[in-house]
Structure formats: structure tokens, C-alpha cells
Structure 1
């Protein structure tokens, strides 16, 4: 049985509240879970200490048993100092693609042509 430490959504529409639970990876997101080990209330401010609550001892036990945290839960565990998370950064993602670069070059060429035509007209 593959175990996950993940979020189970609660709360009402547009007012989310999440429980951090230990669940079988095959069970539905808000379905059956083995144990609740914490909670996350994204509606609270980031500096509020009740935003993320964890039962650190139980989380450590489940990690020792082989439970795998999801990405979001791993962030919480890294902030609490329980687990380490590799920083993910993709600097290539922000760079424009080939077609966008071609459009920029075309615009620059047109601007240069207009500037040259304007200079010729001014010279005459």
C-alpha cells in the first residue's frame, strides 16, 4: 500500500480549508484517510501561526514508515524543518519562444526602415 501525506479539502465554496492527512494513494482526494496530522487554512495571513498546524511527531513516524508527501505538503514540512525540499527553478520558462523572437526582429526591421525613410524625406 502506497501512502501519501496530502491535503483533503474542506470548507465552503470560495473559503477553502485543508486537512493534512495520511491516505492511500489510490483513495479519492476527500475520501478515506488513515489519520489527520495537521491542517492548513489559506484564508489566514502568512504570518499567522495557525495558518499551518502540524502534529510533528506523527508526521515523522509516517515518514519513517515510507509515506510520501505531495509537493505542497513538502513545502510545509520544509518550513517546519522536518524534511528538505529541492528548490525548483526553471529560468528557461520565462524566455520567449522562436516565433516571438522572429516577431521582435520583424518589428525592429520595420522600425529601421521607417526611420531610414523618414531620414531620406528629411534630407530632401
Structure 2
């Protein structure tokens, strides 16, 4: 099963998250199938590729709760 979820990057105490499509069984920082955007919680910066995200959602990929909330804020979901 595929999910749209966060992949953490950045330094210690300075997180930076990539919004990616991954299999449920892979590790948080494992190999992603596709990168859809990024989110910086420190500056509240959000950048999402809307077209690819909508295509993935129509194909049955489920977002996690946190990603779902971000998609609602950006009026995609």
C-alpha cells in the first residue's frame, strides 16, 4: 500500500520535511517513489506539486493525517 508522507531531512533541531510517495513498509528516511513537495515547519513554508498530488490521490494513494491536514490548508484535499 502506498502513502503520501513525510521524509525528514535537515540538521538536528532544524527539521525540513519532503512530502513523498512511499510504500508503507519502508523506513521513514528510506527510498521514495516520487517527491511531491516540501514543508519547512520553522518558517511554515509549504510547496506542493498540485497536479502530481491530485493524480496520486485519484489512483488511491492515502495521505497520512499530518499530510492530509497540510493538503486541506493548501485546498487540494
TM-score, normalising length from structure 1? 0.61
Q: How large is the Cα RMSD of the aligned pairs?
A: 0.8
Runs of 4+ in 1 over 6 A off after TM superposition: none
Where in structure 2 are the equivalents of 1:21-40 lying within 5 Å?
Answer: 21-40=20-39
Q: Which runs of 5+ in 2 are unaligned?
A: none
Return the structure number with greater relative CO, CA threshold 8 A, min gap 6.
2
Q: Give the superposition deviation at 1:42.
A: 0.8
Based on CA coordinates, which of the two structures has the bigger radius of gyration? 1
Within the alignment, does 1:63 sit opposite 2:57 as a pair?
A: yes
Higher strand share: 2
Q: 1:81: Cα distance to partner?
A: 1.3
Structure 1 match to 2:66? 72
The 1-side partners of 2:35 and 2:15 are apart by 17
- Cα deviation for residue 57 of structure 1 reads 0.3
Greater helix share, structure number? 1
Mapped partners of 2:59, 2:23: distance in 1: 13
Unaligned runs of 5+ in 1: 84-124
